[in-house]
Amino acid sequence: MQTNGSADSEALSALRGEVRAWLKENMPTGWREAMTGVEQEAFVALQRDWFGKLVGAGYATPHWPAGWPGGGRSLAEQKVIYEEVARADAPRLIMYFVALYHAACTLIECGSQEQKDKYLPGILKGEVWCQGFSEPNAGSDLASLRTRAELKGDRYVINGQKIWSTMAQYADRCLLLARSGPSDPPQGGLVYLLADMRAKGVTVRPIHQITGDDEFCEVFFDDVEVPVEDRIGEDGAGWAVAQTTLASERGLTLVELSLRMRYALPRFRDVMQAQGRLDDPILRRDLGALTAKVHAACAVADRYLLKRIAGDEQVGDASIVKLCYSRTLRDFVSLGQRMAGLEGQYDVAFMRGATQETGHWALDFMNSYNWTIAGGSDEVQRNILSERMLGMPREPKAWRL
Ligand SMILES: Cc1cc2nc3c(=O)[nH]c(=O)nc-3n(C[C@H](O)[C@H](O)[C@H](O)COP(=O)(O)OP(=O)(O)OC[C@H]3O[C@@H](n4cnc5c(N)ncnc54)[C@H](O)[C@@H]3O)c2cc1C
């Protein structure tokens, strides 16, 4: 896989130069400092502005199909764009990743033409989407969810509660997984709906986190109506549609994040230099080992992207990407904390819109756990690999209760 200017073909080099020049001109300068310790309003304003610019330039949607602005890019072109954005340390589109990846990939793969025409333009205009899958008693065991979707005439009536819905306080739409039929087997009887977050009966309550953020929310649905035409797939086939959403969360999102981790590696060298420890043999050994791991995680993400584009994705492929990323991120942060010493234990300046490698190590440490849980915990990914990829025996039923 080509990763730098000198190895690129002429066309890729030209694209790389274009993206790099555009970022130099348009990227908000000093955004890390500006986003440290600020209220959410400032963060939202930055996200909206940056989203508009990236979409306008066609760099927010390289993974969308041809025919859509910015879409139809080859794998190599997508990678060039992700790499340059990561290299420039541009703000992450945290408010929009559910719309750009989870919602868009689900609509593109499973939605009808009418649904694509209805919703994809809204995403490009800046509609925020959230994901309403998890419930207080249905996280890892997602299929046991209880939010009801009762079909009444030409609409579903929704009652229930979702939790951990990222950025739901700003969301216009929700990818909602609910139960419309029997729960035996639990994966049957589910329906996948596109719910309007402004509809009557929707209540959103942000959850305040230890980091100072309120990134995710509880969402309550009380007799909320969703028209039948906003259902993706058949009634009862919601589980299969949800797998598409989860695959984009576990795989595609992490291609960009893995690259961001790679481009954050020089931060360690800077710290070692500032501390006069460039020759420290232990740190050199550990940084070498980490560098190899980070590059391996990027290679795994690359391979996933290749398989996905070739239509050759297998059960478990996205889980491998997620496991590699989450474990490597934990190692990354733990080396950072170790290098920073005492300061790495108490410096918790909160930075909005950053990745998990801000260099504020105590904060990064807390955030590094996100990816061992979000989109299915590490244990659940290992279960998928052992049971569904390797065909090993399923765990005893009693553990599931
Ligand atoms: C940063 C973040 C963002 C998120 N965003 C969203 C979102 O936008 N929308 C959404 O719907 N959800 C979201 N989630 C929720 C996430 O999907 C769930 O937290 C996750 O699926 C785990 O569910 P749980 O929290 O209920 O934990 P539980 O399922 O209760 O798990 C608790 C522990 O038990 C372990 N465990 C559970 N079952 C097994 C098993 N069978 N074998 C071995 N170990 C097991 C788990 O690994 C975990 O360590 C987010 C979570 C995080 C951390």
Same domain (yes/no): 256, 366? yes
Q: Ligand 1, residue 162: give the atom nearest the CA.
A: 11
Structural domain contains residue 120 = no
Model confidence pTM above 0.85: yes
pLDDT at residue 358, rounded to an integer: 82
Examine the domain organization and report whether 210 and 307 are in the same domain.
no
- The domain boundary, picked from 236, 255, 275, lies at 236
Q: Is residue 79 part of a domain?
A: yes
Task: Say whether both 220 and 274 belong to one domain.
Answer: no
Whether 92 and 141 share a structural domain = no
- For residues 262 and 380, membership in a common domain is answered with yes
Return the pLDDT at 1: 40
Residue 319 shares a structural domain with residue 209: no
Q: Which residues line ligand 1 (CB under 6 A)?
A: 130-134, 139-140, 164-166, 216, 370, 373-377, 379-380, 383
Q: Pocket of ligand 1, candidates 356, 377, 394: which has the most ligand atoms within 8 Å of its Cβ, to mutate?
A: 377
List the domain range (segments joined by +) for residue 16. 5-108
pLDDT digits (tens, 9 = 90+) for 92-107: 899 999 999 999 999 9
Dist CA 275 CA 261 (whole Å): 22
> Does residue 117 form part of some domain?
no
* Boundary residue ending a domain (220, 236, 252): 236
Question: What pLDDT, on a 0 to 100 scale, did the predictor assign at position 163?
Answer: 98
Query: Are 154 and 74 contained in the same domain?
Result: no
Instruction: Give, to the nearest 10 degrees, the angle between helix 253-264 and helix 266-274.
Output: 30
Specify if 141 maps to a domain.
yes
Q: Are residues 194 and 308 in the same domain?
A: no
228 and 249 belong to one structural domain: no
Assigned domain for 113 exists = no
| CA 14 to ligand 1 center in whole angstroms | 43
CATH code, domain carrying 245: 1.20.140.10
List the CATH number of the domain containing 98: 1.10.540
Q: Give the residue from 81, 102, 95 showing the smallest Cα distance to 127.
A: 95
| pLDDT at residue number 248 | 77
Q: Is 225 a catalytic residue?
A: no
CA of 75 to the centre of ligand 1 (A): 31
Q: How many domains does the chain have?
A: 3
* CA 31 / ligand 1 centre spacing (Å): 31
Domain-located, residue 114:
no
pLDDT per residue over 179-221, tens digit each?
999 988 889 999 999 999 999 999 999 999 888 888 899 999 9
- Give the mean pLDDT of the chain: 91
Instruction: Indicate the residue among 51, 75, 108 that finishes a domain.
Output: 108
- 8 Å CB contact between 174 and 129: yes
**Domain contains 264:** yes
Half-sphere exposure of 360 (CA within 13 A, CB side): 20
Is the domain of 265 the same as that of 365? yes
Residue 250 lies in a domain: yes
Which of these ranges, 30-44, 59-73, 317-331, has the smallest mean pLDDT? Answer: 30-44
Confidence band of 401 (pLDDT split at 50, 70, 90): very low
Q: What is the domain-level CATH number for residue 152?
A: 2.40.110.10
Nearest to 178 by CA among 119, 123, 221, 128: 221
Name the catalytic one among 83, 249, 256, 357: 249
Do 49 and 153 lie in one domain? The reply is: no
* Same-domain check for residues 381 and 260: yes
